[in-house]
Amino acid sequence: FRFKDSLAEDLCGADLVISHAGAGSCLEALEKGKPLVVVTNETLMNNHQLELADQLRRDGHVLCCDCGTLVDTLQSMDLSTLKPFPPGQPEKFALFLDKVVGLQ
């Protein structure tokens, strides 16, 4: 398919996600607890896209590769090494903001 409004359904049914390094794509897959392989393409990407993919890799949440090494990665990967990605905490922001505006 070309474009869907939401990939949520497809993500839920997946055992493995292989994605580009877009933040939205990565975070959506991680939040659904899916093992994720991020394929970076430095010739196409904005520099900053690589920052998040790199950090997620360092933290052990994703596997990274580029187009050339994708096949090798898929053949040799050990998904059990991936660590679960804890959700963000907007409640912390709410608490902070309440103090700022004087609601607390």
Residue numbers at the binding site for another protein (CB under 8 A): 23-24, 27, 46-49, 51-52, 54-55, 86, 88-94, 96-98, 100-101, 103
∠ CA 55-48-50, nearest 5°, is 45
Beta-strand (E) ranges in 12-59?
17-19, 36-40
Closest CB 32 distance from another protein, rounded Å: 15
Closest CB 80 distance from another protein, rounded Å: 24
Between residues 51 and 72, which has the closer beta carbon with respect to another protein? 51
Question: Could you tell me which of 88, 2, 83, 73 has the C-alpha nearest to residue 38?
Answer: 73
